[in-house]
Amino acid sequence: MKRNIIITGGAGFIGSHVVRLFVNKYPDYRIINVDKLTYAGNLANLRDIEDRPNYRFVKMDICDFEAVSALIKEENVDGIIHLAAESHVDRSIKDPFTFARTNVLGTLSLLQAARLNWEPIGWHRHSEESSDIRIPCRFYHVSTDEVYGALALDKPEGNPPYGTDFFREDTPYNPHSPYSASKASSDHFVRSFHDTYGMPVVISNCSNNYGPYQFPEKLIPLFINNIRHGKPLPVYGKGENVRDWLYVEDHARAIDLIFHEGRTAQTYNIGGFNEWKNIDLIKVMIKTVDRLLGNPEGHSLGLITFVTDRAGHDLRYAIDSTKLHNELGWAPSLQFEEGIEKTVRWYLDNQEWMDNVTSGEYQRYYEEMYGLTCDNN
């Protein structure tokens, strides 16, 4: 069955992995990558598939309702996988308005544009192959575990898990940062469009992702790059905050499964079953990077620099992915030690990518390849 799918935020970290998976796995699908190309959107992430016949890139702001609606109609779109978002907590603390605009109003723009195109055709479109084939429409919203708030760190010593409770699909929302508040609001809008209009929607909430092509404002690529250059490794507080880590390609596999097989109006949590205290994770990264660079063991431990904790820093996140495993058979393919080894090797083997991103060199790539400029605000 041929499908026409918009993937928003497809030039970003997680989005580029989802785009690559769908373009390669489903050659009969038409994949339309919609991205505004803000600072974290990088088309160089998709150089290996940019010439594929089933792939199209469209530079677009999802808040532009008229443009989004016209694109859905032009491409006869039957599926939207919505990943476009402002996603860095620190940035949300400094600029909450941008997060509200993109994450809330942008999601609402997509929902309304999809509804006005899909509702008149009964949430199904006729296939180009046969008018007897009706393809069900679906709006898939990718969200975060941060909407749930924070969990107690009631088992701080010993091996993980570091607490007795976990985020489940029925955990009440309790966001603590402007970022998580904006994502919680967007989740509610998605559910409201199902409850009010009957739109076929599905939502997933994921834990912290890591892997290739992540913009180096996030902890793992930032620290790999800083270790490589001998720069300080800023650690909030005492480094005791706990996060659950998910390898990005495992996340992309889960998104594929949920889009195709997940039940309408359901929420699925996606986690790596990998709880790590920040300080322990950082020490594993240091050990791995030093070994691969040929440095003596412990060479970069002195780069750890403890800094004042950030406002509203949630203590512990941990996701229970049992529902996703039981219903759709998904499980993470890598444990953290394996994933971090692959990730460190990728960044060290692709230092040109990292240097281009951190220097702004990649912006020239847009102009040369696509005649585009990149917003960098």
Catalytic residues: 145-146, 179
- In whole angstroms, give the CA distance from residue 23 to residue 55: 7
Please report, as a single letter, which amino acid is at residue 250: D
What's the order of all strands across the beta sheet hosting 267-270? Answer: 55-59, 30-35, 4-8, 79-82, 138-144, 201-206, 267-270
Cα first-last separation, the chain: 40
Contact (CB, 8 A) for 68 and 59: no
Q: How far is CA 345 from CA 49, 307, 313, 338, in A?
A: 22, 28, 30, 11
- In whole angstroms, give the CA distance from residue 165 to residue 153: 9
Closest CA to 136 of 152, 123, 155, 151: 123
Residue 95 has which token pair?
Answer: 């600029």
| Contacts (Cβ under 8 Å, ≥6 apart) of 74 | none
Maximum CA pair distance of the chain?
Answer: 67
- Rounded to 5, what percent of the chain is helix, strand, coil? 45, 20, 40
